Amino acid sequence: MRRHKEYPIPLSSMGEGMRRILNLAMAAVTVENGVLLIDEIETGLYYEVQTDMWRFILEVANELNIQVFATTHSWDCICAFQEAVDEFDDPSVSKLFRLSRKGEDIRPVEYPADELSVAVRQSIEVR
């Protein structure tokens, strides 16, 4: 009797999360030495796989010299990003930016890895 893992599994039989990760991987390899823009990066991903997704993004971005700009409104996604950054060889290459409106101006508020780590541990709003 042959087990199913000996056969290719159609992508259509996998969940939305797997398709999302594969799309991110394909997008990343096409922008080597460039920029990758990802809107609502957590879309379609179960919260428990988001840290692994961020680990993957950080590794690929480092290996292929890609600057990644990803948006999210998800606290779970921000926590997953922070966890992956803390584990990364050089966390200083990763930052979170929040856009803040002051009157007519929109300004970025920067959270380097060390500040983001404190913010997540203390549940300080960074979105």
* Residue ranges making up the domain that contains 19: 11-121
Decide the pairing of beta strands 95-102 and 105-112.
antiparallel
Domain count, the chain: 1
- Tell me, yes or no, whether 126 lies in a domain: no
- Tell me, yes or no, whether 4 lies in a domain: no
- Tell me, yes or no, whether 127 lies in a domain: no
CA–CA distance, 94 with 84 (Å, rounded to integer): 10
pLDDT band at 1 (very low <50, low <70, confident <90, very high): very low
CA–CA distance, 15 with 126 (Å, rounded to integer): 30
pLDDT of residue 9: 77
pTM, entire model = 0.84
- Tell me, yes or no, whether 81 lies in a domain: yes
Q: What percent of the chain has pLDDT over 90?
A: 76
pLDDT of residue 4: 58
pLDDT of residue 110: 95
Summarised one tens digit per residue, pLDDT across range 73-116 is 999 999 999 999 999 988 888 999 999 999 999 999 999 999 99
Averaged pLDDT for residues 43-64: 95
- Tell me, yes or no, whether 78 lies in a domain: yes
CA–CA distance, 28 with 90 (Å, rounded to integer): 20
Is the pLDDT at 31 greater than 90? The verdict is yes
Furthest CA-CA distance within the chain: 69
Query: What are the DSSP calls for 26-63, one per residue?
Result: HHHHTTTTSEEEESSTTTT--GGGHHHHHHHHHHHHHH
- Tell me, yes or no, whether 3 lies in a domain: no
As a whole number, the mean pLDDT across the chain is 91
Sign of CA dihedral 99, 58, 22, 33: positive
pLDDT band at 2 (very low <50, low <70, confident <90, very high): very low
Residue with tokens 């990343």: 28
Residues 6+ apart with CB under 8 A from 61: 28, 36, 67, 68
